[in-house]
Amino acid sequence: MNERVESYYLQRSRNHWVLWKKSYDDNYGRWEKPVALARCSRQAFGNADKDAAMALLVAVFAEERRQYHAELDRFDINDTGLLSLQEIDAVADTVWGKDTSATPGSP
């Protein structure tokens, strides 16, 4: 069984939105250094941070699914920040399709 524990962060720079990921290493009991995963032009979303975050998360998860030949399952949500549970579920629905068996916030 493989369980990933990750946190995602959105950074607004002068010209780009940047999505960062920080993973938890359960072998050593510590968080790893953040890694930049994706970016897009600020012009694409202006100051709409939620829209930028959702678009970047969709791009990252879709690419991971493509790399792992669709073996990457929907994620479980332990905590939220910028995005609500409903918005995070919308990201998952875009990548994996609508999950009608899950309760909101628990795909």
Question: What's the CA gap between 91 and 105, in Å, rounded?
Answer: 11
Q: Tens of pLDDT along 87-101?
A: 999 999 999 888 656
pLDDT in the model for residue 13? 92
Helices (H), 1-107: 42-45, 49-67, 85-96
Which stretch of DSSP H or E encloses residue 11?
strand 6-12
Report CA-CA distances (Å) from 88 to 13, 27, 43, 59: 23, 28, 23, 13
pTM for the model stands at 0.81
pLDDT in the model for residue 107? 45
Confidence at 102, pLDDT banded by 50, 70, 90: low
